[in-house]
Amino acid sequence: MKKILTALGLLISSSTMATGFYAGGQLGTDFGISHFNVGNNKSDNKDTGMTYGIYGGYRYDFNTFFVAGELECYKSTTKTKNTLQANPNVAVGQMTVENTQDGNSAALQILAGLPIGDSTEVYALLGAIRTPMQTTATLSLPGVTSVHKQTSDLNGKVFGFGVQYRINDQVAARLNYKYVAYEELKLNDITSKLASHIVSIGAQYSF
């Protein structure tokens, strides 16, 4: 009986060895995608910027896998910009639409992963995001320029995966990819659909 209890104690201690809170910072590249519609006139574009931010969460380790809940806050410098013909039936005038992140994005994510070695883990993530976005629409006609601005809080979904390497019991580094898809954004008769592919590297400390 004593041997069984000892083995059970070792099993429990090993399964929760890395359980606890963690926090870190990361830096990456945001490959932004934009789809714009003005009536029947459409335009697609891709723009690239930098992302930087912090994250923190709580992780629970089992014998063969782990799960974690994580809150991430980051800023992106990506500006999505599209230029369209103001009226497809008239050969004059341009409509330029630009979207810029107006503050920090906040993402709530669930991570699930498993070890592939003594110090390396792979994981998948799923979550929801909220981003303040400023939209600027500029209509340029001969002799006339009109500018309209709007700030909106966009909700979106986050999907991704990554790999994490534990340097020691407290410090780890990770490489992360995620896809962010936002809800539809409207400004007058302009419809925007925004998304991002984000690749980042980070370092974290476990408490």
- pLDDT tens-digit readout, 137-183: 787 777 777 787 878 888 999 999 999 999 998 999 999 999 999 98
Tokens of 147: 């500018």
The upper half-sphere exposure of residue 168, i.e. CA atoms within 13 Å in the direction of its Cβ, equals: 4
> 19-206 architecture in CATH?
Beta Barrel (2.40)
Find where tokens 């883990």 sit. Answer: 121
Q: How far is the C-alpha of 77 from the C-alpha of 90, rounded, in Å?
A: 34
Domain ranges of the chain: 19-206
Which helix (H) or strand (E) segment is 13 a member of?
helix 2-15
Which helix (H) or strand (E) segment is 118 a member of?
none
Tell whether the model's pLDDT for residue 59 goes beyond 70: yes
Q: Where does the chain show beta strands of DSSP type E?
A: 20-38, 41-61, 66-76, 79-85, 94-101, 105-115, 120-141, 144-166, 171-182, 185-187, 190-206
The upper half-sphere exposure of residue 117, i.e. CA atoms within 13 Å in the direction of its Cβ, equals: 8
Tokens of 175: 């490489």
24-33, 61-70, 93-102, 111-120: range with lowest mean pLDDT: 93-102
How much is the pLDDT for 83?
Answer: 73
Give the residue with greater pLDDT, 36 vs 75. 75
How much is the pLDDT for 122?
Answer: 97
Give the residue with greater pLDDT, 73 vs 146. 73
Confidence band, pLDDT 50/70/90 cuts, at residue 12: very low
The pTM (predicted TM-score) of the whole model is 0.79
Q: What is the mean pLDDT of residues 126-143?
A: 84
Confidence band, pLDDT 50/70/90 cuts, at residue 110: very high
Identify which of 55, 57, 50, 45 has the alpha carbon closest to the alpha carbon of residue 82. Answer: 45
How much is the pLDDT for 11?
Answer: 41
How much is the pLDDT for 17?
Answer: 45
pLDDT > 90: percent of the chain: 49
